[in-house]
Chains A and B, each alone.
Chain A
């Protein structure tokens, strides 16, 4: 079974631009989560989608948005890029049956997209 894929793997943008990152989950997984990882802040949760609905959102400004398509693929968008948005953006998928503590909420991560904002 193919793993989680993310495109592009590397991206260089300038301040003020916008960027769209893509994530394809493991086949059969309907939950997709996004995380931002920086050396200073560690791994921070951005948002989670399930069946095209956002179920939870982290503490990020409205410049960060996402969506999920009917085939479970997800995109996240960052508008008006700032230098501080430079980070590794990780996507993860899970079965997420809604039951916590039974293992179906195990998340599998993609290789990440490394975004550099100049």
Chain B
């Protein structure tokens, strides 16, 4: 069954330091996509980064990188050089063949960046 697990309800990081947000997923499909979204207090979901199940390299987008470990079914988000504006909720999500045209989301991790 499709499942996304984010075990860190909240995390603190010092400004300019790197932080890793954990995400594990469960699917029996070979084809799937993994996503990370950021949701500031305004409510809008902002797409950050994507990793396809067939991608051999870890995805990177600016200060965001995705540590994709397929055998362990983990897709951790790494934010380098944290900024105060990174304080927000972060959601890991997945879409696979079995789920059809439905994206499932984890419970989210609230990140607090300290000055």
Residues of chain A having any CB pair with chain B under 8 Å = 31, 33, 42-43, 45, 48, 50, 55-56, 58, 88, 90, 92, 96, 99-103, 105-112, 114
A-B interface contact total, Cβ < 8 Å: 72
With A101-B32, A101-B53, A109-B37 in contact, is A48–B44 under 8 Å at CB?
no
**Nearest residue, chain B, Cβ from A6:** B44
Residues of chain B having any CB pair with chain A under 8 Å = 29, 31-33, 35, 37, 42-47, 50, 52-54, 91, 95-97, 99-105, 107-108
Decide if the interface of chain B is mainly helix, strand, loop or mixed.
Answer: loop
Contacts of A88 in B (CB 8 A): 43
**Nearest residue, chain A, Cβ from B97:** A100
Which of A45, A55, A110, A114 interacts with B103 by CB under 8 Å? Answer: A45
